[in-house]
């Protein structure tokens, strides 16, 4: 177990709705990343937060947004949900780049979102 | 852009050795990582290669050849619990920790 917890574990929404997913990072980790994993595929990078600032973003539209709080926990918000947003959303915490030689990410078990 | 290709599925029996290959196209990266993911579970880190050559961690070993744009994960003394999906991933030299994951290989270990 990595110490990264995510909530909710499962949720169902309809097209056009908004969703907020939450993540508590492992103790001592101040960097949080979010990934989207469609069924049968590898995770895809959405964005990363470091010290409450977004410091990197993948190829996702602006309706995907996030926050990081002073305790390093994080939220992923998705507006105007589309059917293709149905996926497993993974949060990963890590030490800052340079503090670990491997760049190891510690993933939570994810929030499975179904959009109908 | 970056892309990593893996075989979709590999099957083996308990006690055997299996190799999962990863070929990639990327302009530059820091290292190649491997993650294991059981159905319904979180991806967990297995191994990392920053330099060419073999890295050994218990029953698992990983290899990287930058000149061949190729790496592999070697699993020895297979156990039933090794049945899972395995992903290779590269960390690009973007200045932040972004991993680009491969397509994933589903390993099925039978008795």
DSSP assignment of A8-52 equals: -SEEEE-TT--EEEEEEPPTT--EEEEEEE-TTS--EEEEEEETT
Identify the pLDDT of residue A30.
87
**Pairwise CA distance, residues A73 & B96, whole Å:** 18
| C-alpha angle A60-B35-B9 in degrees, rounded to nearest 5 | 95
Q: How far is A65 from chain B (nearest CA, A)?
A: 17
**Pairwise CA distance, residues B99 & B11, whole Å:** 27
Is the pLDDT confidence value at B1 over 80? Answer: no
Q: Residue A42 is nearest to which of B95, B98, B102, comparing CB atoms?
A: B102
Check whether the bond before A8 is cis (ω within 30° of 0): yes
Identify the pLDDT of residue A11.
97
Residues pairing with A75 in the sheet? A22, A67
For B48-104, how does the pLDDT look when each residue is reduced to its tens digit (9 = 90+)? Answer: 998 999 999 899 999 999 999 999 999 999 999 999 999 999 987 776 778 999 999
Identify the pLDDT of residue A83.
98
Nearest CA in chain B to A99: B97
Largest pairwise CA distance in chain A: 42
Asked if A65 is an interface residue toward chain B (Cβ–Cβ < 8 A), one would say no
Identify the pLDDT of residue B27.
73
Chain A residues whose CB is inside 8 A of the B89 CB are 42
Given pLDDT bands bounded at 50, 70 and 90, which one contains residue B43?
very high
Ranges of chain A whose pLDDT falls below 70: 1-2, 97-100
Whether B98 sits inside 8 A of A56 (CB atoms) is yes
Nearest CA in chain A to B88: A42
**Pairwise CA distance, residues A110 & B72, whole Å:** 27
For CA atoms B5, B9, B15, B17, give the dihedral sign: negative
Give the tokens for residue A69. 């709080």
Whether A103 sits inside 8 A of B48 (CB atoms) is yes
Whether B96 sits inside 8 A of A56 (CB atoms) is yes
């Amino acid at each position: 177990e990595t110490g990264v917890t995510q909530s909710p574990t499962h949720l169902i929404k309809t097209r056009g709705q908004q969703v907020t997913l939450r993540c508590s990072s492992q103790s001592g980790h101040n960097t949080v990343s979010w990934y989207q994993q469609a069924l049968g595929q590898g995770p895809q990078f959405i964005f990363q937060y470091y010290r409450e600032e977004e410091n990197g973003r993948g190829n996702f539209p602006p309706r995907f947004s996030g926050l990081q709080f002073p305790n390093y926990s994080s939220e992923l918000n998705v507006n105007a949900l589309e059917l293709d947003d149905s996926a497993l959303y993974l949060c990963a915490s890590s030490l800052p780049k340079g503090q670990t030689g491997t760049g190891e990410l510690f993933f939570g078990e994810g929030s499975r979102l179904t959009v109908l | 852009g970056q892309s990593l290709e893996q075989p979709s599925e590999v099957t083996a029996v308990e006690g055997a050795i299996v190799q999962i290959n990863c070929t990639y196209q990327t302009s530059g990266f820091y290292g190649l990582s491997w993650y294991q993911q059981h159905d319904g579970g979180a991806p967990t880190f297995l191994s990392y290669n920053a330099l060419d050559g073999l890295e050994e961690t218990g029953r698992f070993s990983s290899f990287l050849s930058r000149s061949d744009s190729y790496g592999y994960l070697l699993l020895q003394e297979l156990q039933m619990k090794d049945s899972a999906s395995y992903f290779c991933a590269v960390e690009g030299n973007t200045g932040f920790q972004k991993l680009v994951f491969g397509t994933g290989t589903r390993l099925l270990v039978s008795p």
